[in-house]
Structures are given as C-alpha cells and as structure tokens.
Amino acid sequence: MVDFEISANLAGNAGIHFFDPTKLKGDINPYRIWGKYSTDQFELRVGLQKSILEQP
C-alpha cells in the first residue's frame, strides 16, 4: 500500500476592472509532505515539514 499527503498554504486575489485586462495573483507555499509504503511485514515512512519560528 502506498499513501501520501501534501499540505500547503494557498492565497490569491483577482482584480477585475471594466475595459482593462483581468489581473490574477496567487501564491502556493508547501509546508508538509509525507509518504508511506507498507506491506504485511514492512513499513517505510518518510516526510518533511517546514517549521516557522517567530522571534518576539
């Protein structure tokens, strides 16, 4: 069995003005990826997670 997960922060906006081109802007920031491969007698897990530390 193969299992995986990807988590991300998504943000975007759109500017619509009559008689002007539509402006679209977006941002995707992945912060966690992990996967698992398993059989009846074996399991392998790998993963990465971004940590954010804020200083006062």
Give a yes or no: residue 22 inside a domain.
yes
Q: What is the pLDDT along the chain (56 residues), one digit of tens a residue?
A: 898 888 888 888 888 888 888 888 888 888 888 999 999 999 999 988 877 777 77
Q: 14: domain range?
A: 2-49
Residue pair 34/5 in contact (Cβ under 8 Å)? The answer is: yes
Domain annotation covers residue 55: no
The three-state DSSP-derived secondary structure of 27-53 is EEEEEEEEEEEECCCCEEEEEEECCCC
In a domain, 37, yes or no: yes
Instruction: Specify the number of domains making up the chain.
Output: 1
In a domain, 56, yes or no: no
- Residue 41 falls within a domain, yes or no? yes
Evaluate whether residue 31 is within a structural domain.
Answer: yes
